[in-house]
Amino acid sequence: MARPNEEVEALLREYADLIAITGGDAFKQRAYERAARAIGGHPGDVSRLGTKELRDISGVGKSIADKVEEYLRTGHVAALEETRREIPGGVRELMSIPTLGPKKALALYRDLGIASVDELVSAVHEDRLGGLKGFGPKSRENILHGVELMRQAHGRILLGTAVGIAEDVVAGLREATGLKRCAYAGSVRRMRETIGDIDVLAAAPEEEAERIMAAFTGLPQAAEVVMSGRKKTSIRNARGLQLDLRVLPPDSWGAGMLYFTGSQAHNIRVREIAVRKGLKLSEYGLFEAKGGRKLAARTEEEVYRRLGLPWIAPALREDRGEVAAALNGELPELVTERDLRGDLHTHTDLTDGLASAAEMVAEAAARGYAYFAITDHAPELYMQQMTREKILAQREELRRLAERQGRRPRLLHGTELNIGPEGEVDWPGDFLAGFDLCVASVHSHFGLDRKAQTRRLIRACENPYVNIIGHPTTRKIGQRAPIDVDLEAVFAACARTGTAMEINAHPNRLDLKDEHILLARRQGVKFAIDSDAHTVGELGHTRYGVGTAQRGWLTKEDVINAWPLGRLRRFLRAPGRPGR
């Protein structure tokens, strides 16, 4: 996603929150929320669109398009700034706490004079919120959780944002300098779910370093130059994210990529092997410890091989047994984005998506998918107003689309069911039998205790019509804590019932996370890497799900949507599950 899209999305979401907190029209609030999502998911750079193209984006009317253009032209929106002035600064700070919400933030300020996060934490610990309506014991516990999430995320950005920035910087440097070897490393390359800073490497002779550093500090992303040198230069972008560029000799490229990709713990483990062999490993190469002769440096493969190791994929480099597995010839052949044959969890404008079924299917075809599932929400997610009639009409629409589309992708009609507090789902079995597949997800009752949450998920797994548990912990990174659930018990139920666990690829979810994937895989669980796309552009989020799956050591054998359609259908109709 282009960076202006993210800025405009954040702007519109803030305006929607301010409309809510000032008691504005609920329809207007929802309109801005919808437009924010549409622009955030738009595949092109909105800063390059004219008025007509902006208004062609679903959910963007004249008034919103005018505000977007005003922001892109001037850097601010007068109506937003006027609304901001109506809200005390302390309330806006409180609004940044996940789980709190704008109306509760205003109540805290108005009734108790709380105008900062620290004041709120003190008030919770001093039990000063008990008299306020809506601030019971569970609510106070959620506030502390929200503050913890916010502080954990301080100074870090989501993987999807970081990848976009890193790719833009690398492309900009290559264009400006003609560099052939320039790439990002660090935690972005390892596909960590959040990123603190971005490491970029360039290979060039020493005499070229000054010119390359000048090009780096001249990039549009360089709002501030933190430090400048011949070997390393650091800049900050407008959001305060630091980017470090290091220029390496061309014959040290592989050693430098290994060193700066990390993790630190992985590098220590590899250096221990070097020391035992009488060698020294640095960012410049692998050397004999005594004589200093360089033995390997040009490629990562060369360095690893000289140490008696096969190349280790960046996503595995976390010192979680990958070096021992490499020494024993037991590294997995990790699933890749090319291995995915389809997407099993997507939405259209029939519910909360922003693209038609035809548009989503066309993009799936462009991505080369062999099969593609539409899984709009079921009726218990009441704001979507789903009915049997609507979902059956969609089934007919997909049948007609399939006739026009031909054999690829084969269209699967599914639904995303809601897992109720007792593990129940929306529709009865005789109706669910008509779907090709059913994803079941938790969308409410996040505050149930551990026993209740575990029971509801296990019961959903035991439902013979449920094929996939969607975004299993419900977390939103930096926004919403995961539900309290015994995942080992749930994974055991999935393995027993043949229910797949989803790796939801949306960058603000990445749910399951990598540690949970490792645990589930050991129990024999199968997985689905799904985009949960609500726009055409979001279908590309699967790359982040694949990265998370790789961090969980998954192969294509572990991932049901990396299988041929025939095998997938057999999984969906396995013994104990009714035939469709």
3-state secondary structure of 559: strand
Assess whether 229 and 278 both reside in one domain. no
Assess whether 469 and 547 both reside in one domain. yes
First-to-final CA distance of the chain? 38
Assess whether 366 and 485 both reside in one domain. yes
**Torsion angle, CA of 378/380/385/387, rounded to 10 degrees?**
50
Question: Buried (b) or exposed (e) across 461-477, using 16+ Cβ within 10 A?
Answer: bebbbbbbbbbbbbbbb
Token duo for residue 212 = 């390359």
Cβ-proximal residues to 247 (8 Å cutoff; 6+ apart), any chain: 201, 202, 203, 204, 208, 209, 212, 213, 230, 231, 232
Assess whether 206 and 234 both reside in one domain. yes
Full residue range of the structural domain in which residue 210 is found: 157-248
- pLDDT score recorded for residue 151: 72
Question: What Å distances lie between residue 268 and 47, 273, 275, 318, 566, CA to CA?
Answer: 44, 9, 10, 11, 45
Assess whether 403 and 266 both reside in one domain. no
Q: For 436, which DSSP code? A: S
Q: What is the mean pLDDT, run by run of 10 residues, along the chain of 580 residues? A: 76 85 80 86 83 86 90 88 79 75 79 84 84 79 78 80 94 94 97 96 94 95 93 90 96 97 97 97 96 95 98 98 97 98 96 92 96 95 82 96 88 97 95 97 93 98 97 91 95 97 96 97 97 93 98 98 97 66
- Give the H/E segment covering residue 248: strand 242-248
3-state secondary structure of 371: strand
Q: For 481, which DSSP code? A: P
How many angstroms separate the CA atoms of 510 and 1, rounded? Answer: 17
Assess whether 494 and 429 both reside in one domain. yes
Question: Could you say which of 264, 298, 327 is where a domain stops?
Answer: 327
Question: Could you say which of 327, 349, 373 is where a domain stops?
Answer: 327
- pLDDT score recorded for residue 579: 44
Token duo for residue 44 = 């092109």
Assess whether 445 and 557 both reside in one domain. yes
Residues 37 and 9 sit within 8 Å (Cβ to Cβ): yes
Question: Angle at the Cα of 405 (from 399 to 411), degrees rounded to 5?
Answer: 50
Q: Is residue 579 assigned to a domain? A: no
Assess whether 487 and 463 both reside in one domain. yes
Q: Is residue 577 assigned to a domain? A: no
**Torsion angle, CA of 310/194/121/96, rounded to 10 degrees?**
-170
- pLDDT score recorded for residue 383: 65
Question: What Å distances lie between residue 392 and 396, 397, 426, CA to CA?
Answer: 7, 9, 15
Residues 409 and 365 sit within 8 Å (Cβ to Cβ): yes
Report the CATH number at residue 113.
Answer: 1.10.150.110
Report the CATH number at residue 524.
Answer: 3.20.20.140
Residues 182 and 223 sit within 8 Å (Cβ to Cβ): no
Alpha helices for 178-321 (secondary structure H): 186-189, 209-217, 253-261, 264-276, 300-306
Domain count, the chain: 4
Assess whether 64 and 172 both reside in one domain. no
Assess whether 503 and 372 both reside in one domain. yes
3-state secondary structure of 487: helix
Question: What Å distances lie between residue 433 and 131, 231, 413, 429, 430, CA to CA?
Answer: 50, 63, 11, 6, 5
Longest dimension (CA), the chain: 79
Beta strands of 479-544 (E only): which ranges? 500-504, 527-530
Residues 360 and 384 sit within 8 Å (Cβ to Cβ): no
How many angstroms separate the CA atoms of 375 and 491, rounded? Answer: 23
Dihedral pair phi/psi, residue 244, rounded to 5°: -110, 130
Q: Is residue 580 assigned to a domain? A: no
* Of 312, 316, 320, 323, nearest in space to 269 by CA: 323
How many angstroms separate the CA atoms of 299 and 12, rounded? Answer: 45
Question: Could you say which of 294, 327, 360 is where a domain stops?
Answer: 327
The helix-helix angle for 487-497 and 514-522 (nearest 10°) equals 50
* Neighbouring C-beta atoms of residue 378, cutoff 10 Å: 26
Assess whether 404 and 296 both reside in one domain. no
Residues 190 and 315 sit within 8 Å (Cβ to Cβ): yes
β-bridge mates for residue 416, sequence order: 377, 439
Q: Is residue 311 assigned to a domain? A: yes
Report the CATH number at residue 323.
Answer: 3.30.210.10
CB-side neighbour CA atoms (13 Å) of 41:
31
Report the CATH number at residue 224.
Answer: 3.30.460.10
Assess whether 30 and 148 both reside in one domain. yes
Token duo for residue 474 = 């419900």
Q: Is residue 578 assigned to a domain? A: no
- pLDDT score recorded for residue 576: 59
- pLDDT score recorded for residue 384: 67
How many angstroms separate the CA atoms of 155 and 157, rounded? Answer: 7
Q: Is residue 210 assigned to a domain? A: yes
Q: Is residue 66 assigned to a domain? A: yes
Q: Is residue 341 assigned to a domain? A: yes
Token duo for residue 231 = 């070997």
